[in-house]
Chains A and B, each alone.
Chain A
Amino acid sequence: MNSRAVGVGRVLIVIYAILALGATARSVVQILTKFDVAPVAYLLSAVSGVIYIVATIALILPGTTWYRIAWAAITVELVGVLSVGTLTIVDSTLFVSDTVWSYFGRGYLFVPLVLPILGMLWLYRRRPSRVPS
């Protein structure tokens, strides 16, 4: 039994799955219809979508390898939302179109900002040394 996909962790996984669906679907639409307008922003949207998918899968699957992948994905998310969030506030011309991480995830009710922090707390509480998987 995987020690990460239990209890409140399941709620976390579902929120990750919904965000993965939202970010990926949105970026597919953006890339298909108006890629020329803001290639950087739309590629970033696609990359963030993939990272959310990886995080969702890594949280579900057992084992220390997936545990490390989960940490890596969630760290990238936190760095992404903080750096892109700061950049959009400092210089709004850098990203002419919104991404998941613009303005610290404002377009997604700040869920992208809160989620990696909750994810890290959850991963820390469920670290393999404490709970054998």
Chain B
Amino acid sequence: MIEWFTLVQLGVAVVAGLLCLVMGLAGRIPSDITMGVTALVELFLLIQLVMAIVAPAVGNSPTGSALEFWVYLVSAVLVPPAAVFWGLIERTRWSTVILGVACLAVAVMVYRMGQIWTVQLA
């Protein structure tokens, strides 16, 4: 993992999540903006996915469990598309809230991925 990229990714996911939560609670149905930022979160995950495949080959290996890292990454990659899919079939304000919840869940998972890759306490 590249630290600055992970921090940017974390920031994007948190901002996107909060934006969708606020828009959803304000009664907006999923729009190009809220769907777009969720797609952006997914794009960052896919870049992270490619980097995680390449990184160990150039000497940047996880210090923690690689299996645990990959379970988090693959799970995280699945979350935004599921939320967007829901937003497309269910046009209510709650779908926007769900986009927000999905982005924030990704933020938590990216944070955990960063911990697994870099910080080992035990």
Contact = CB atoms under 8 A, between A and B. Distances in A.
In the complex, which range does the number of interface residues on chain B fall in? Answer: 20 to 34
Dominant SS at the B interface? helix
B96 to A, nearest CB: 10
B101 A18 contact: yes
A109 B104 CA distance: 12
A7 B98 CA distance: 11
21 contacts: A7-B92, A7-B94, A10-B86, A11-B94, A11-B97, A11-B98, A11-B101, A14-B86, A14-B98, A14-B101, A18-B101, A18-B102, A22-B75, A22-B109, A25-B75, A26-B71, A28-B71, A29-B68, A32-B67, A33-B67, A33-B68
Interface of B: 65, 67-68, 71-72, 75, 78-79, 83, 86, 90, 92, 94-95, 97-98, 101-102, 105, 108-109
Given A18-B102, A29-B71, 20 more contacts: A7-B92, A8-B94, A8-B97, A10-B90, A10-B98, A11-B94, A11-B101, A14-B83, A14-B98, A14-B101, A14-B102, A18-B101, A18-B105, A21-B78, A22-B75, A26-B68, A26-B71, A28-B71, A29-B65, A33-B65
Contacts of B98: 10-11, 14
Interface in A34-63: none
A11 B94 CA distance: 7
Grouping DSSP codes into helix (H, G, I), strand (E, B) and loop, the A interface class, with mixed when no group exceeds half, is helix
